[in-house]
């Protein structure tokens, strides 16, 4: 795969897709530097990126959850068993102590970019090796 | 004081309602398993609900009446009646052997009393030995399921039936004969119907109801003889007033007598009017190792023919056998029942026999309600009463017997109209008042259960058993829950204060077509995984087009979003529609080829179709392209929608089938396919009464009759299985479809989120009767609207998968990674089990199965 990436402040910013490719209140999965990332666009247009792996079920499905709010918190619910996560912090709001990783995400020149640490991990750490 | 024996061998003779209750009560107390329990039952069936026996004629099966719960700690021997008790050796003898006992509980119940009427027996006459000498053909008693089945079979093709006995059981039997299509007469020796329960004025009101139903009472006369025709068949009855009553079938329901022949032969003391004489601990007055409970027991000489006192006795003996000190407190002989469509209740001193008692009577000829309260001489204490026609006040009144009146007498008796009839009643009840008399549950116990967290009627039933027998106290349970301030919020979630039904009406009436407008005008925030799928379902039910267009896509759960069913590893399963379970070999081959080419795990479902597992999101369109090209369409296994209409093979092939069940199932499945609902909807059509399609376990089930179709509604399998109930009988196909249309549309409009039809009907005020009035009689004036809504659905149906494949924008969703659409999700891996792919899991080692491995084996 050929992906555009720039390195700023020790972060590797990977271009993922044009902004309009994201539907409001729906997620997509992306492969960023070998990691599975779930990207969301909320109703107000803001972008969030969290780990694609559901930490409770162990499957890579978070991008397929329903996006909404709890109070003022933007959320996504796991599509498998509906635990709700804070899109900003990755914290699970239903099960204390459970969280998904979060990633920095931005929109530049109409393109959505996700940041990972500049030193990437080898592919073998990804995916099937659960 | 005697020291109680609290362990050893326990033999229970009889597995009726009370015998069964005794065993359950003992087992729940005897947690250490100190009693080794053997139960001997005469009937081949385990205990069943004899109180609801007549429901058998409404289509309720023997299985549904079953009360027996399997218990590994109990040796249940059915069809093995006890023949004798040897008290010296402490054994019970049966045809199969002997059972030693350290304690013996008699729960033999009663037998139907047959008066000495000339010609009623085959030969021997009324003095023949045993409780039930052989009745002549055409004469029946009304006691067991076998009796009822025999009556049903004999009634076929006959015209007139007579019931001897106008009491409670007699009127039930009369209703049964009426339902079987016989012209029905009731002969009662007393001058009124139900003489034990109601007074003269109540009896007169009852008579009017009964006559209107076409049942003819003959009161104040006895039957003197049963006469035969010259060919030996039944001709009719002669009456004590010289009258003659032609009859093809006779049911004797003249009362019951205790089954005490075992006790009598064993030399136990009996009551003056029969029954095993016991003290208030239910122990035999002759033999301290023998106890008696239920209708066969004469507690201090008195026999009780109702189930509630029997249950109370069962609890007493169970308590005593584990060292307790319970005593039979005397019985509540209150009854409430629906006879021939008339509600009748009597409670306490219904006949005003207490010295100086006063009557307050209320008669309304217009609504045909009769009510009487019996009060103490100072008019302050309620002693008893009779209600005919409207019994809504019964639960409150019954619980108030012996205490102060819960309100002014006339306010208590006048029909309340609010359906609960309890008014301020229950709040006025003392804590010790029994709310459920069948299971002896007090108001205090219920209040306690609510305080401990019971939040609804099912939870209260589970926790206290209140309301689980006759159910008459359920309105009081609801009232208690409401009074206790349990928050029964109807709010769907934090984003809407409305129930699903209210949202449906808002969306429909205001013509709202988007979630954003709905939540902006009627809610708050941006929704969640609860309200969004609900709104998506409502929009789909109201015909807002393709379920994934525009904003609707963001409302859908992942299953609806990918039009497939998510599985534990994040893959999806695919279920093509196979209407009625009928499929050509060519199509079957296509499914097989697709499964093989995409390496899908393949399994036959319970709904007569085929589920293909292990598809990744990006494979779904390719799989469906092949299926759609071969003529398949979405099976909506992923949706809260109609799933399947299962069928048996029907009259086309089956030698028993009476209608084309497959044809009807296919037509119905095609009619309702794609219909979005509050929950999944399952259906089935059986081609005859053998019911091979299991239609009564479905939301709507249809069973063929020789004259048309019987429609059943409100069944389901799942966590809490229910049998569907008969909604209407012998319908033409056109009537059937019309009723099902309305049933489904009314359900879609008014049910709660994720509420199956069974729970929905249960929650409807008025239940199945109300549903019938809405659908058949158009009581709410809704039918035209419901019919039009269904017509729109049928007309606008399109296959979601065909539409998806036709649109590149829609297909874009089916990608693994937005920036690497050619890379499959690397986390999805399979292993092989029984020749098929299954999700690979490190914690799962299917091949090992605990078999010894060669490694590490040393000799």
Question: DSSP letters along B537-595, please?
Answer: HHHHHTT-S-TTSTTHHHHS-HHHHHTSEE-TTS-EEE-B--GGG---HHHHHHHHHHH
Query: Residue B232: pLDDT above 90?
Result: no
Binary contact (B558, A65; C-beta < 8 A): yes
Q: Residue B672 to residues B23, B541, B543, B644, B791: CA-CA distances in angstroms?
A: 48, 11, 13, 9, 10
The most confident of the ranges A82-96, B114-128, B222-236, B712-726 is A82-96
Binary contact (B826, A21; C-beta < 8 A): no
User: Of A20, A21, A18, A24, whose CA–CA distance to A4 is shortest?
Assistant: A18
To the nearest whole number, what is the mean pLDDT of chain B? Answer: 87
Report yes or no on B816 lying in a domain. no
CATH at residue B746: 3.30.413.10
Domain that holds residue B788: 642-796
Least confident of A64-68, B436-440, B522-526, B734-738: B436-440
Report yes or no on A20 lying in a domain. yes
Q: Tens digit of pLDDT for each residue in B557-569?
A: 999 999 999 999 9
Query: Residue B416: pLDDT above 70?
Result: no
Q: How confident is the model at residue A31 (pLDDT cuts 50, 70, 90)?
A: very high
Report yes or no on A128 lying in a domain. no
| A 10-49 near B (Cβ less than 8 A) | 14-17, 21, 23-26, 28-32, 36, 39, 42-43
Radius of gyration in angstroms for the set of CA atoms belonging to chain A, rounded to a whole number:
14
Secondary structure in 3-state letters for B287-317: CCCEEECHHHEEECCECCCCHHHHHHHHHHH
Binary contact (A67, B554; C-beta < 8 A): yes
B816 to chain A, closest Cα gap in Å: 7
Least confident of B115-129, B206-220, B426-440, B457-471: B115-129
- Cα B406 to Cα B428: distance, rounded to the nearest angstrom: 6
Domain that holds residue A24: 5-115
Binary contact (A79, B829; C-beta < 8 A): no
Region of residue B164 (left: phi > 0; alpha: psi -120 to 50; beta: else)? beta
**Mutate which: B550, B570, B638, B820, vs A, most A CBs within 10 A:** B570
Calculate mean pLDDT across residues B360-382.
81
What are the structure tokens assigned to A6, written together? 């720039």
Sign of CA dihedral B808, B813, B818, B821: negative
Half-sphere exposure of B343 (CA within 13 A, CB side): 15
Binary contact (B528, A84; C-beta < 8 A): yes
Together in a domain, B648 and B635: no
- Number of domains making up chain B: 7
B468, B459 contact by CB (below 8 A): no
Report yes or no on B377 lying in a domain. yes
Sign of CA dihedral B126, B128, B134, B137: negative
Query: Residue B341: pLDDT above 70?
Result: no
Binary contact (B816, A53; C-beta < 8 A): no
C-alpha torsion angle, residues A35, A41, A46, A48 (rounded to 10): -20
Query: Final residue of a domain: which of B222, B254, B286?
Result: B254
Q: Tens digit of pLDDT for each residue in B626-669?
A: 999 999 999 999 999 999 999 999 999 999 999 999 999 999 99
**For position B414, what pLDDT does the model report?**
58
Binary contact (B817, A23; C-beta < 8 A): no
Facing B554 at nearest CB: one of A23, A30, A128: A23
Report the length, in residues, of chain A: 130
**For position B428, what pLDDT does the model report?**
67
Report DSSP state, residue B5: P
Q: How confident is the model at residue B372 (pLDDT cuts 50, 70, 90)?
A: confident
Contacts of B561 in chain A (CB under 8 A): 26, 64
Kindly write down the DSSP assignment for every residue of B666-726, as one continuous string: HHHHHHHTT-B-SS-EEEEEESSTT-TT-GGGSSEEEEEETTEEEEEES-B-SSS-B--EE
Binary contact (B827, A66; C-beta < 8 A): no
Radius of gyration in angstroms for the set of CA atoms belonging to chain B, rounded to a whole number:
32
Calculate mean pLDDT across residues B380-388.
85
- Cα B661 to Cα B653: distance, rounded to the nearest angstrom: 11
Report yes or no on B446 lying in a domain. yes
CA angle in degrees (0–180, nearest 5) for A40-A45-A47: 35
Which residues, at least 6 apart from B769, have a Cβ–Cβ distance to it below 8 Å? none
Report yes or no on B269 lying in a domain. yes
Report yes or no on A71 lying in a domain. yes
Calculate mean pLDDT across residues B45-49.
89
CATH at residue B586: 3.90.480.10
Kindly write down the DSSP assignment for every residue of B209-238, as one continuous string: HHHHTTEEEEES--EEEEEE-TTSSEEEEE
Least confident of B127-141, B258-272, B588-602: B127-141
Contacts of B819 in chain A (CB under 8 A): 1, 3, 14-17, 30-32
- Number of domains making up chain A: 1
**Letter string b/e over residues B593-622, b meaning 16 or more CB atoms within 10 A of that residue's CB:** ebbeebebbbeebebbbbbbbbbbbbbbbe
- Cα B585 to Cα B4: distance, rounded to the nearest angstrom: 72
User: Of B396, B424, B407, whose CA–CA distance to B360 is shortest?
Assistant: B407
Report yes or no on A127 lying in a domain. no
Together in a domain, B503 and B552: yes
SS3 (DSSP) at B198: coil
Q: How confident is the model at residue B392 (pLDDT cuts 50, 70, 90)?
A: confident
Query: Residue B507: pLDDT above 80?
Result: yes
Contacts of B827 in chain A (CB under 8 A): 36, 53, 59-60, 127-128, 130
Together in a domain, B682 and B775: yes
Binary contact (B827, A36; C-beta < 8 A): yes
For A53, phi then psi, to 5°, come to -80, 125
Contacts of B569 in chain A (CB under 8 A): 59
* Percent of chain B surpassing pLDDT 70: 92
Which residue from A minimizes the CA distance to B841?
A130
Binary contact (B819, A69; C-beta < 8 A): no
A113 to chain B, closest Cα gap in Å: 11
| B 558-617 near A (Cβ less than 8 A) | 558, 561-562, 566, 568-570
Q: In what order do the strands lie in the sheet with B234-239?
A: B223-228, B234-239, B244-246
A31 to chain B, closest Cα gap in Å: 6
Facing A66 at nearest CB: one of B557, B826, B829: B557
Binary contact (B532, A66; C-beta < 8 A): yes
Query: Residue B734: pLDDT above 70?
Result: yes
Query: Residue B188: pLDDT above 90?
Result: yes
Burial class (CB in 10 A: 0-12, 13-18, 19+), B822: exposed
Query: Residue B852: pLDDT above 90?
Result: no
A10 to chain B, closest Cα gap in Å: 22
Binary contact (A30, B819; C-beta < 8 A): yes
Query: Residue B360: pLDDT above 60?
Result: yes
Together in a domain, B470 and B347: no
B115, B223 contact by CB (below 8 A): yes
Together in a domain, B242 and B158: yes
Together in a domain, B576 and B503: no
Strand partners, B34: none
Report yes or no on B846 lying in a domain. no
**Mutate which: A12, A59, A94, vs B, most B CBs within 10 A:** A59
Together in a domain, B769 and B682: yes
Burial class (CB in 10 A: 0-12, 13-18, 19+), A129: exposed
Query: Final residue of a domain: which of B376, B409, B426?
Result: B426
Facing B529 at nearest CB: one of A26, A77, A127: A77
Least confident of A124-128, B284-288, B435-439, B804-808: A124-128
* Percent of chain B surpassing pLDDT 90: 55
Q: How confident is the model at residue B848 (pLDDT cuts 50, 70, 90)?
A: very low
C-alpha torsion angle, residues B488, B494, B495, B496 (rounded to 10): 10
Binary contact (B532, A80; C-beta < 8 A): no
Burial class (CB in 10 A: 0-12, 13-18, 19+), B514: middle
Together in a domain, B601 and B480: no
Contacts of A43 in chain B (CB under 8 A): 516, 526
CATH at residue A89: 2.102.10.10
- Cα B728 to Cα B737: distance, rounded to the nearest angstrom: 12
Sign of CA dihedral B394, B395, B396, B399: positive
Q: How confident is the model at residue B235 (pLDDT cuts 50, 70, 90)?
A: very high
- Cα B199 to Cα B178: distance, rounded to the nearest angstrom: 25
Report yes or no on A70 lying in a domain. yes
User: Of B509, B513, B458, whose CA–CA distance to B749 is shortest?
Assistant: B509
Facing B528 at nearest CB: one of A31, A68, A130: A68
Report yes or no on B35 lying in a domain. yes
Report yes or no on B819 lying in a domain. no
Report yes or no on A77 lying in a domain. yes
Which residue from B minimizes the CA distance to A79?
B558
**Mutate which: A37, A66, A126, vs B, most B CBs within 10 A:** A66
The better pLDDT of the pair B244, B179 is held by B244
**Mutate which: B493, B520, B818, B820, vs A, most A CBs within 10 A:** B818
Binary contact (B820, A31; C-beta < 8 A): yes
Together in a domain, B467 and B505: no
Q: How confident is the model at residue B604 (pLDDT cuts 50, 70, 90)?
A: very high
**For position B544, what pLDDT does the model report?**
72
Query: Residue B264: pLDDT above 90?
Result: yes
Query: Final residue of a domain: which of B759, B777, B796?
Result: B796
Query: Residue B160: pLDDT above 80?
Result: yes
Together in a domain, B207 and B63: no
Name the pairing type of β-strands B35-40 and B74-77: parallel
Query: Residue B471: pLDDT above 80?
Result: no
Together in a domain, B294 and B309: yes
Q: Tens digit of pLDDT for each residue in B61-119?
A: 888 888 888 888 899 999 999 999 999 999 999 999 999 999 999 999 999 889 888 88
* ipTM field: 0.89
Report yes or no on A44 lying in a domain. yes
Name the pairing type of β-strands B249-252 and B160-164: parallel
**Mutate which: A36, A40, A68, A86, vs B, most B CBs within 10 A:** A68
Binary contact (B818, A75; C-beta < 8 A): no
Helices B531-541/B515-522 angle, 10° precision: 120
Report yes or no on B126 lying in a domain. no
Together in a domain, B670 and B782: yes
Report yes or no on A82 lying in a domain. yes
- Which helix or strand (DSSP H or E) is residue B97 part of? strand B97-100
Q: Is A51 on the interface with B (CB under 8 A)?
A: no
SS3 (DSSP) at B356: coil
């Amino acid at each position: 795969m050929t992906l555009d990436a720039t390195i700023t402040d020790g972060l590797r910013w990977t271009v993922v897709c044009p902004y309009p490719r994201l539907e409001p209140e729906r997620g997509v999965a992306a492969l960023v530097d070998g990691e599975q990332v779930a990207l969301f666009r909320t109703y107000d247009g803001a972008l969030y990126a969290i780990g694609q792996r559901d930490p409770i079920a162990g499957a890579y499905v978070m991008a397929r959850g329903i996006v909404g709010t709890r109070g003022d918190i933007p959320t996504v619910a796991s599509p498998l068993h509906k635990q709700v996560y804070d899109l900003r912090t990755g914290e699970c709001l239903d099960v204390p102590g459970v969280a998904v990783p979060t990633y920095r995400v931005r929109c530049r020149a109409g393109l959505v970019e996700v940041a990972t640490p500049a030193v990437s991990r080898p592919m073998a750490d990804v995916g099937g090796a659960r | 004081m005697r020291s109680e024996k609290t362990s050893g061998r326990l033999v229970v003779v009889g597995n009726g309602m009370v015998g069964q209750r005794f065993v359950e009560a003992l087992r729940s107390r005897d947690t250490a398993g100190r009693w080794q329990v053997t139960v001997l039952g005469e009937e081949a069936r385990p205990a069943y609900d004899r109180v609801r026996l007549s429901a058998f004629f409404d289509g309720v099966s023997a299985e549904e009446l079953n009360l027996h719960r399997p218990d590994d700690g109990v040796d249940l021997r059915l069809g093995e009646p006890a023949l004798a008790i040897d008290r010296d050796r402490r054994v019970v003898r049966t045809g199969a052997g002997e059972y030693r006992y350290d304690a013996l509980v008699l729960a033999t119940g009663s037998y139907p009393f047959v008066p000495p009427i000339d010609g009623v027996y085959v030969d021997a006459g009324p003095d023949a030995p045993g409780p039930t000498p052989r009745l002549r053909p055409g004469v029946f008693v009304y006691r067991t399921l076998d009796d009822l089945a025999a009556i049903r079979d004999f009634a076929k093709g006959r015209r007139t039936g007579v019931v001897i006995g106008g009491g409670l059981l007699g009127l039930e039997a009369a209703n049964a004969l009426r339902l079987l299509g016989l012209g029905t007469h009731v002969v009662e020796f007393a001058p009124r119907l139900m003489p034990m329960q109601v007074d003269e004025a109540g009896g007169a009101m009852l008579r009017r109801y009964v006559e209107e139903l076409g049942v003819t009472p003959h009161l104040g006369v006895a039957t003197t003889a049963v006469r035969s025709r010259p060919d030996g068949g039944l001709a009719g009855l002669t009456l004590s007033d010289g009258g003659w009553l032609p009859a093809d079938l006779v049911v004797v329901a003249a009362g019951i007598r205790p089954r005490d022949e075992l006790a009598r032969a064993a030399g136990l003391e009996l009551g003056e009017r029969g029954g095993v004489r016991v003290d208030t601990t239910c122990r035999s007055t002759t033999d301290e190792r023998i106890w008696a409970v239920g209708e066969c027991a004469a507690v201090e000489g008195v026999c009780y023919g109702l189930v509630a006192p029997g249950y109370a006795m069962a609890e007493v003996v169970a308590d005593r056998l584990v060292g307790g000190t319970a005593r039979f407190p005397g019985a509540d002989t209150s009854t409430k029942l629906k006879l021939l469509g008339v509600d009748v209740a009597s409670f306490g001193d219904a006949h005003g026999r207490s010295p100086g008692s006063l009557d307050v009577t209320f008669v309304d000829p217009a609504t045909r309600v009769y009510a009487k309260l019996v009060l103490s001489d100072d008019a302050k204490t309620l002693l008893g009463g009779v209600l005919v026609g409207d019994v809504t006040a019964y639960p409150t009144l019954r619980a108030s017997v012996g205490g102060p009146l819960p309100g002014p007498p006339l306010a208590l008796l006048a029909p309340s109209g609010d359906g609960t009839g309890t008014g301020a009643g229950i709040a006025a009840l003392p804590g010790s008042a029994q709310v459920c008399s069948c299971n002896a549950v007090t108001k205090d116990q219920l209040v306690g259960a609510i305080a401990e967290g019971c939040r609804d009627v099912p939870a209260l039933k589970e926790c206290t058993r209140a309301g689980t027998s006759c159910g008459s106290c359920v309105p009081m349970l609801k009232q208690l829950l409401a009074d206790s301030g349990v928050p029964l919020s109807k709010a769907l979630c934090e984003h809407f204060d409305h129930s699903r039904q209210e949202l449906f009406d808002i969306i429909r009436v205001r013509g709202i077509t988007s979630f954003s407008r709905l939540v902006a005008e009627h809610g708050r925030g941006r929704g969640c995984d609860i309200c969004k799928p609900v709104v998506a379902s409502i929009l789909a039910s109201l015909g807002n087009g393709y379920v994934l267009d525009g904003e609707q896509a963001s409302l859908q759960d992942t299953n609806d979003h990918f039009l497939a069913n998510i599985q534990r590893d994040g893959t999806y399963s695919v279920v093509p529609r196979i209407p009625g379970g009928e499929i050509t070999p060519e199509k079957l081959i296509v499914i097989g080829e697709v499964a093989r080419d995409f390496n899908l795990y393949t399994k036959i479902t319970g709904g007569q179709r085929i589920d293909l597992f292990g598809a990744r999101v990006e494979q779904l369109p390719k799989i469906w392209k092949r299926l759609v090209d071969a003529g398949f369409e979405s099976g909506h296994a992923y949706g809260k929608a109609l799933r399947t209409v299962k069928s048996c093979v029907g009259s086309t092939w089956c030698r028993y089938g009476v209608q084309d069940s497959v044809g009807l199932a296919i037509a119905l499945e095609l009619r309702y396919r794609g219909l979005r609902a509050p929950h999944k909807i399952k259906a089935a059509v059986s081609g005859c009464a053998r019911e091979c399609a299991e239609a009564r376990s479905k939301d709507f089930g249809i069973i063929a009759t020789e004259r048309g179709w019987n429609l059943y509604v409100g069944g389901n399998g799942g966590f809490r299985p229910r049998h569907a109930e008969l909604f209407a009988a012998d319908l033409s196909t056109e009537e059937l479809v019309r009723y099902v249309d309305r049933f489904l549309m009314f359900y879609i409009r008014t049910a709660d989120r994720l509420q199956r039809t069974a729970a929905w009907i249960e929650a409807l005020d008025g239940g199945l009767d109300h549903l019938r009035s809405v659908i058949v009689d158009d009581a709410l004036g809704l039918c035209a609207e419901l019919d039009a809504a269904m017509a729109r659905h049928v007309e606008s149906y399109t296959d979601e998968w065909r539409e998806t494949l036709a649109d590149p924008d829609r297909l874009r969703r089916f990608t693994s990674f937005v920036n690497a659409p050619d890379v499959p999700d690397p986390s999805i891996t399979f292993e092989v089990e029984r020749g098929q792919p299954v999700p690979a899991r490190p914690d799962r080692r299917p091949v090992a199965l605990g078999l010894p491995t060669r490694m590490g084996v040393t000799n």
